Amino acid sequence: MPRKRHVGKWEGRILIGSTVDPETGKRKQQFEWVGRFDTKRERDDAVAERKRELAAAKPDLPLVEDEVVAYLEWHGEHFPKSLPQKTEQLKRFRADFGDRAVDIPRDEIKDWAAARGKWAKDADGEPRKPIPNGYLFAVSSFYTFVIDEQDRPIDKNPARKLAKQTVGRSDTPPPTPEEFDVLLDATAALGDYAPTIRAMFEFAAFTLMRPSELYALKWEHIDFNRNRIDKCERVYRGKVADPKTGAKEIALTPPAKAAILNLNRTSEYVFPSITGKRMSAGGFSGYWARVLARAELDFDFYLASKHYGVWYMHTVLEMPDRVIAAQAGWKRSTVTKMIETYGHGEVGALEDVDAAFANVAPKLRVVGGSGAAR
């Protein structure tokens, strides 16, 4: 009689690569069958043993540095506008792992990523700068390229799901005044070009203009005598177009005016690129990535500038909603909703509570164990 095939509950297999269907263009994963096992422990032990055997016979993998170079070339060919940003975001990873084979263990990358948002120490006990969330997304994208495009024998993306998902704009608070100042100072990372981006950041916050409108802003659009700005153009998909909310005249506020008074006017544009040409979204993302790296913060430029500006006008200056609406170019019917989204009046509110009770607290007397005060 033929021998009965053993059928266990736990199936063991190992991902060994993937292939692309030439007709559909879809990628299909390839697995090596290990067997079926009665217990999960038996399955895991057999899979681990087979992985060790494959690792011993595996050819030498390329270095991280070489694969990053290949990835950036591929990214520049397919997504040229975001190449400067990706280059900046992978700089830290290249510095820390560039001379290692590309199959960095996931546990090691998790330990490396754990520095995000706090100070950690390196192997020598020296302080290590935190890793912004966007940098972790870039590392994960890099490994997707290594596995899918380069067909390297790596089981899974070791950087998968390390970056925290960002929240919606309505839930994203603006920088605090202290963080806003840190971002301003961090523009020094751009060297001689720093004054342009510093002025652009301040100007955006105190005029409520969008980045795309700032890219197209020319000196001729600003009336310094009347303190007015003709917001008539924006850069959309690489071309000059009408502003998203239509052409409008808005106020040139005192802090915005002060920010640009001493800028070099050799270009027709108020905020030209480092080469003196019209700014582009791709080029600016590279500049802003360097600012964030220096500041050790993680703020989208639009949110950091416009959120802060609306919070400042709404909470500090106590401007009426209709005034902010006129400056931002919003419809009157949507002012309340926009203020709720961008106003963030709760920022600093707890400090206000502390201040309000500062002179009262010494007079309070705790009675009994209930914590009731009289």
Q: Which two tokens stand for residue 185?
A: 């100072």
Confidence band, pLDDT 50/70/90 cuts, at residue 167? very low
Q: Are residues 225 and 137 in the same domain?
A: no
Strands (E), the chain: 10-20, 27-37, 120-121, 127-128, 222-223, 228-231, 234-236, 239-241, 248-251, 366-367, 372-373
Q: Are residues 218 and 327 in the same domain?
A: yes
Confidence band, pLDDT 50/70/90 cuts, at residue 172? low
CB-based contact 299:292 (threshold 8 Å):
yes
Q: Are residues 217 and 305 in the same domain?
A: yes
Q: Which domain holds residue 130?
A: 64-148
Residue 232 has pLDDT above 50, yes or no: yes
Q: Are residues 103 and 249 in the same domain?
A: no
Strands (E), 73-192: 120-121, 127-128
In a domain, 367, yes or no: no
Q: Are residues 102 and 251 in the same domain?
A: no
Distance between CA atoms of residues 102 and 118, nearest Å: 26
Distance between CA atoms of residues 233 and 217, nearest Å: 7
Strands (E), 117-176: 120-121, 127-128
Tell me the pLDDT tens digit for each residue of 243-283. 777 788 888 889 999 999 989 888 999 999 888 888 888 78
In a domain, 123, yes or no: yes
In a domain, 20, yes or no: yes
Indicate the number of domains in the chain. 3
Q: Are residues 282 and 199 in the same domain?
A: yes
Q: Are residues 200 and 291 in the same domain?
A: yes
In a domain, 91, yes or no: yes
In a domain, 88, yes or no: yes
Q: Which two tokens stand for residue 56?
A: 């011993």
Tell me the pLDDT tens digit for each residue of 310-324. 888 888 888 887 788
Distance between CA atoms of residues 68 and 261, nearest Å: 42
In a domain, 362, yes or no: no
In a domain, 360, yes or no: no
Distance between CA atoms of residues 188 and 69, nearest Å: 27
Return phi, psi of residue 183, to 5°.
Answer: -65, -40
Give me the pLDDT at residue 272, please: 92
Closest by CA to 271, choosing from 326, 222, 224, is 222
Q: Are residues 41 and 73 in the same domain?
A: no
Q: Are residues 185 and 297 in the same domain?
A: yes
Q: For the chain, how many residues are written?
A: 374
Q: Are residues 144 and 75 in the same domain?
A: yes
